[in-house]
A and B are shown apart, each in its own frame.
Chain A
């Protein structure tokens, strides 16, 4: 018996060893397609490091209403014509300095002079018209078109180099608000293809995007406004909230978005109202929701104050309507439904006596991981409605399946009544963006409505100023008194992780547009 390794075995062993060594060398220290620069290298005081929940799918300007895109580009890489102050709700000048209309249909915009794009070209009326035309009138399929403008095109006219006229298909008193969703790009930007890396006028310009890893931006030397405090910005993304929080506590990042207290962020977590409202939408086409007494009983049976206190640490606020304070149309006087289990039981008994099948199953449709503690919230609601005498089944679905219940056409072959848990965010600041979708008889996310409510909504949409505020308040009151499609749960809060080395005051828009120019070094 020979103890020597046979030659025929030595060759494969040598090959295997070489392969292993080669792989190890390949692995070495750097991951494929990565570069050292992706860490946002540079002195910490020079670079603002932001960690997001996810990588932006694109930085296309006409998709900026997508949270993951807008949080990077809006008012940082690109800029809108008009900016909505997230705190006061007022519209403020950005690339348009003035706007006016005599008939609420044709609006004249005066444009800012002396603004340069990142490619060095000057901003003027041609760029403004190209931006609107591209986002609203083209066949690009821009997300902002569907979200804000609908099928109707806008007529555009250049008055002079720094003045344009925008004409809507019909009277539109909130056209300036709609225009605040458009991020301006140069006229050379393709009108037939979307552009992943836009050229803007913002305080930062894109330096590089390492797909899957990071985005780097540098301060724009020719920016028309005040120079930002940081010379560079670095975006990374981590799906797991506890990892984003750990990046703040370990000093690897300066700002982390989308956190919750469960992520162990401690004192470095800063809460802010994020304009999101959680509600239950009841479909009245089948029993027991075809009886308004049951829909009212649902509202009485849910202890919103306890839910807010126990599940959300008292940061959220019990809700009486779909829009929070700060949105035009929000009513401060509209009362939250009392928690009154006896009243709920009484209404269920009344409905039963009147012939309603109160034992019919109700499917509580909930999107998995839509927001923190959603499963616990659904279980609490299920239990409380069961105590009122209703039969509730919990149906946890992933996003795509949940959307089939959220948007028309709704499933028809459902074994039981549908009660959808919905999270609605009104980032536009006007209740029209809520009620048109959620409360009209044919609204994309409305299960039903009434002709009276439709009339109230149409009147509110056409109103301006104080009349508009009053008209929408009336809409929300009518919903709660006479329609009861919704059981509102809470106005939510978001949380940012902010490192002690930077100073930033989050506001209701911070989750959708993180304006890096507002972040400074801590003193």
Chain B
């Protein structure tokens, strides 16, 4: 597992560097920030002084060298907009986004597992059709529209929650309810599909024939085998939220990193933008590692050690066809799987 982790870390480090350099270069290609920070009638002298003050008069290679030097000292520079330390601004905003993302995903996953499993019990039944309609609707509603309607209904008409802000438990309701819809809708469809497939497997029939309760059949046999695709999709959705739920943060005045990043882009606040991108990139990098580990824990077939063992066994037994191994699933039922199981993209 450690070798596996090391390989994953090395493989993810290169994209991280590419992202950092890319953001640095692309941000500077979008125009001179002096026009945004100085009065429109600022003189040439003032523009030169501004460039010198912010290091923008240096050649690009000097700027990038200073930036990388700063990263190693954990110094990301100063915000042109606020005069504050860029890293401090990013680190202050990030926890609020993480809280929102975590709460949203916990609720979405729990609801999706319940609804998706219930729907899979009887494919094409009334419950399945209803859940399909609801999940597709939830996955397609635009955040912006839902947020505004939510404010109108729950804050203005019913007056049960505040319109926006971050104070008190009630302030969580609208942002989380708005954000939960899309992951919920998507996950219900994934889990329902995986559960339908899992419930038709021979080991489920075997479990039922041995007298296992329906709860045990679903929770301990089918759901565990159906969890892997759900984890992959949930990981993707979480990555999107960690990157900042810009619309929701903007509408509800949630002081998260998505809003900070958008403001930094619009204001060409390079230092803050770079700090935000690096922070979220590192967070996504860690999240991907966690998803990989979770995936490996859920499905022994993707563990490198297990895979190697299985390949050795397969070679010894001269397996049925090239590239496929016959082995037992985690519940002991024999199934045919690809030796190098794809985890999908994160």
Contacts and interface: CB of A to CB of B under 8 A. Distances in A.
B49 A31 contact: no
Contacts of A39: 165, 167-168
Contacts of B33: 400
Given A3-B212, A150-B43, A249-B156, A238 B84 contact: no
A508 B14 CA distance: 55
Given A20-B106, A32-B98, A38-B167, 8 more contacts: A23-B99, A38-B166, A237-B253, A240-B148, A250-B156, A400-B268, A403-B36, A444-B42
Contacts of A252: 162-163, 165
B297 interface: yes
Contacts of A398: 266
A333 B99 CA distance: 61
Interface in B78-104: 81-84, 89, 92-93, 95-96, 98-100, 102-103
Contacts of B42: 146, 444
B250 A1 contact: no
Which 9 A/B pairs are nearest by Cβ-Cβ distance?
Answer: A212-B255, A32-B95, A147-B39, A146-B42, A31-B166, A29-B169, A146-B39, A23-B102, A403-B35
Contacts, number: 179
Contacts of A239: 250-251, 253, 259
A150 B171 CA distance: 47
Contacts of A399: 36, 266
Nearest to A37: B167
Majority DSSP secondary structure for residues of B touching A: helix
Contacts of B266: 398-400
Contacts of B155: 246, 250
Nearest to B99: A27
Interface stretch (A76-84, A137-145, A163-171, A493-501): A137-145
Interface string A412-452: 00000000000000000000000011000001110000000
B206 interface: yes
A29 to B, nearest CB: 4
A513 B332 CA distance: 74
Contacts of B203: 1
Interface in A33-47: 33-34, 36, 38-39
A145 B203 CA distance: 78
Given A242-B148, A246-B156, A252-B163, A211 B31 contact: no
Interface string B21-54: 0000000001101011111111101100110010
Chain A interface size, under 10 / 10 to 19 / 20 to 34 / 35 or more: 35 or more
Nearest to A401: B31
Nearest to A264: B152
A24 B101 CA distance: 11
B220 A141 contact: no
B151 interface: yes
A31 B148 contact: no
Interface string A115-126: 000000000000
B311 to A, nearest CB: 21
A33 B167 CA distance: 11
A58 B46 contact: no
A445 B41 CA distance: 7
A151 B220 contact: no
Interface residues of B, number: 70
B89 A151 contact: no
B253 A238 contact: yes
B92 A212 contact: yes
A212 B266 CA distance: 17
A35 to B, nearest CB: 8
Contacts of A32: 92, 95-96, 98-99
15 contacts: A3-B212, A20-B106, A23-B99, A147-B41, A150-B41, A151-B43, A242-B148, A246-B155, A247-B163, A249-B156, A399-B36, A400-B268, A403-B31, A407-B35, A445-B41
Contacts of A178: none
B254 interface: yes
Interface string A50-63: 00000001101000
Contacts of A401: 31
Given A31-B254, A141-B46, A143-B38, A57 B82 contact: yes
A12 B296 CA distance: 11
A349 interface: no
A387 interface: no
A159 interface: no
Contacts of A38: 165-167
A243 B164 contact: yes
Contacts of A212: 92-93, 96, 255, 260
Interface of B: 30-31, 33, 35-43, 45-46, 49-50, 53, 81-84, 89, 92-93, 95-96, 98-100, 102-103, 106, 148, 151-152, 155-156, 159, 162-169, 171-172, 203, 206-207, 210, 212, 216, 220, 250-255, 259-260, 266, 268, 294, 297, 331-333
A31 B253 contact: no
A26 B255 contact: no
Contacts of A406: 40
A240 B251 contact: yes
A410 to B, nearest CB: 12
Interface in A393-413: 398-401, 403-404, 406-407
A437 B41 contact: yes
A65 B106 CA distance: 46
B246 to A, nearest CB: 10
Nearest to A54: B263
B99 A238 contact: no
A236 B165 contact: yes
Nearest to A443: B41
A196 B84 contact: yes
B40 A151 contact: no
A28 B171 CA distance: 11
Contacts of A310: none
Contacts of B95: 32-33
Contacts of B163: 243, 246-247, 250, 252
Nearest to A402: B35
Given A57-B82, A249-B156, A404-B31, A437 B40 contact: yes
Contacts of A436: 41
A27 B103 CA distance: 7
B332 A31 contact: no
A181 B19 CA distance: 43
Contacts of A60: 83
Contacts of B152: 246
Contacts of B53: 141
B295 to A, nearest CB: 11
A240 B174 CA distance: 15
A26 B220 CA distance: 29
A260 to B, nearest CB: 15
A151 B45 contact: yes
Contact of A34 (B148, B167, B169, B268): B167
Contacts of A236: 165, 253
A237 B250 CA distance: 10
Contact of A29 (B45, B172, B216): B172
A146 B103 contact: no
Contacts of A151: 43, 45-46
A23 B163 CA distance: 24
Contacts of B165: 38-39, 213, 236, 252
A32 B166 CA distance: 9
Contacts of A33: 92, 95-96, 255
